[in-house]
Amino acid sequence: MRRSALLVVFMLVVAWGAVSQSSYVIVDSVRLPAESYVGDPVELRYSVRSQATAIVPDETPQPRWGDITAVRVQPGAGGFDLRMTVTPYEPGTLTLPRIDLGEVRIEGLSLIVDSILPPGDVGLRPAHGPQRLPGTQAALLLFGFGISFVIALVLYLLGPGRRHIHSIVSRYRARVPYRRLLARVQVLERDINRHTMREFYIILAEELQTFMTCRVKQNCMAATSTELIAILPELEESCGAVAGTAAPLEEIFLAADSAKFARKTIRRKKRARHLKLVHAVAVELESHRRRLRRSVRVPREQVSHVGV
């Protein structure tokens, strides 16, 4: 019975102790500096309202996560001020150990410690880039977009795009001699009465030579009529036309020779017919050439082989 009474007494004492020791209220807390990082000493100030008188402990408790270097107590309004200097070595929310101040034991205090290292990271990292001014972000973003667009464009032009653009340009270029020839033929047709017969054939032959030079990769300017006639099959082949398409030009070259060098008279009617012939042959060749280009994009050599 005595034993059980003693037990009851003991339990009461314990219960009172627990109650009496928790009789404090932390009114205010200040951290200096407000943000603390691993390894930085932080001063924590707590305004504690309590009836108890606080005595600085002889030994400050040392938590696992860092050092508590100093604990001071100053009397304050309705209680006392507890000041501690803590140097945490771990980031995160750290719980301070219970601090026994004689009549009061302060516990449940915590400290949030940041790390300049991102969480979960161990070891050093290279230095950060320079900090940007606020507001430059958008400009930088735009600038970045611009740069990457330019790079993409350049890569495209160097890579697949080059061929594409090249083909567009060359397709355009390839049509130039044809257009030029047609234009000149038109002008000659209009001015047929202005030119002498000789002039007429000099111009016509020269235009044909220019046209052929562009088409057959050979200097036709230095070719005589006989040589030009010999080149005609090559011209047809390079345009992918059937043999004989350009054959009517033969007559024109021969007429040009006799007009230029033998001063033979060639009637206006025939001249007009020759212009029509040139026009027709040019159109025919061009249509074949374009079809050739479009249908199968095989290199020209192959086509010519096929053609042979």
Partner 1 sequence: MNEQNSKSKDVTRDIDRAIRRANDRIERCRDEIGKAVIGQKEMIDGMLTGILAGGHILLEGVPGLAKTLAIRSLAQVLDASFSRIQFTPDLLPADLVGTMIYRQQTGEFVARKGPVFSNVILADEINRAPAKVQSALLEAMQERQVTIGETTFELPNPFFVMATQNPIEQEGTYPLPEAQLDRFIMKLAITYPTAGEELEILRRVGVEFNPKLEKVLFGSDIQEIRGTVEQISVDERIEEYIVQLVTASRKQGERRSFHRYIEFGASPRASIYLYRCAKVHALFEGRSHVLPDDVKAVAPGVLRHRIIPSYEAEAEQLSSTDLVDLLLSAVPVP
Provide the binding-site residues for partner 1, judged by CB under 8 A.
202, 209, 219, 221-227, 257, 260-263
Q: Is residue 61 a contact point for a copy of itself (CB under 8 A)?
A: no
- Residues contacting residue 246 through CB under 8 Å, at least 6 positions apart: 232, 233, 235, 236, 281, 285
# chain residues binding a copy of itself, by CB under 8 A: 21
Check binding of 1 to a copy of itself (CB under 8 A): yes
Main-chain phi, psi angles of 71, to 5 degrees:
-125, 120
Q: Which part of the chain contacts a copy of itself (CB under 8 A), choosing from 116-124, 146-154, 156-164, 210-218?
A: 116-124
Q: Least CB distance from residue 2 to a copy of itself, whole Å?
A: 8
39 binds, among a copy of itself, partner 1, none (CB under 5 to 8 A by kind): a copy of itself
Selected binder of a copy of itself within 21, 26, 31, 41 (CB under 8 A) = 41
Supply the minimum distance, in Å, between the C-beta of residue 66 and a copy of itself: 11
Q: Which one of a copy of itself, partner 1, none interacts with residue 225, CB within 5 to 8 A by kind?
A: partner 1
Q: What is the 3-state secondary structure (H, E, C) of 48-69?
A: EEECCCECCCCCCCCCCCEEEE
Rounded distance between C-alpha atoms, residue 307 and residue 297, angstroms: 15
- Considering the complex, state which of residue 82 and residue 255 has its C-beta at the smaller distance from a copy of itself: 82
Complex with a copy of itself: residue 109 or 231, whichever CB lies closer: 109
Of these partners, partner 1, a copy of itself, none, which one is at the site of residue 118 (CB under 5 to 8 Å by kind)?
A: none
What is the arrangement of strands in the sheet containing 24-32, beginning at the earlier edge strand?
Answer: 24-32, 42-50, 79-88, 66-76
Per CB under 8 A, the segment of 93-101, 268-276, 282-290, 300-308 that binds a copy of itself is 93-101
CB count in 10 Å sphere of residue 185:
21
> Does 307 contact a copy of itself by CB under 8 A?
no
Q: Among residues 259, 283, 286, 284, which one has the least CA distance to residue 271?
A: 259
- With CB under 5 to 8 Å by kind, the binding choice for 92 among a copy of itself, partner 1, none is a copy of itself
Interatomic CA distance for residues 57 and 71, integer angstroms: 8
Cβ proximity to partner 1: between 10 and 261 the closer is: 261
Which residue number, 80 or 253, has a Cβ lying nearer to partner 1?
A: 253
Candidate residues 19, 34, 77, 119; the one interacting with a copy of itself per rule CB under 8 A: 119
| Number of Cβ within a 10 Å radius of residue 89 | 13
- Residue 151 near a copy of itself by CB under 8 A: no
Could you tell me the CA-to-CA distances from 123 to 117, 119, 129, 206, 252 in Å, in that order? 9, 11, 18, 81, 88
Residue 120: DSSP 8-state: T
Residue that has been written with the tokens 């990292």 in this structure? 125
Residue with tokens 């082949």: 237
User: Contact between 182 and a copy of itself (CB under 8 A)?
Assistant: no
Secondary structure percentages of the chain, helix, strand, coil, to 5: 50, 20, 30
**Rounded Cα distance, 78 and 122, in Å:** 46
Judged by beta carbon distances under 5 to 8 A according to partner kind, the member of partner 1, a copy of itself, none in contact with residue 193 is none
Q: Give CA–CA dist 23/51, Å, rounded.
A: 8
Q: Using CB distances below 5 to 8 A depending on partner kind, what does residue 261 bind out of partner 1, a copy of itself, none? A: partner 1
Identity of the residue, 219 or 304, whose beta carbon is nearer to partner 1 in the bound complex: 219
Interface residues with a copy of itself (CB under 8 A) are 1-2, 4, 6, 37-41, 69-70, 85, 87, 92-95, 110, 116, 119-120
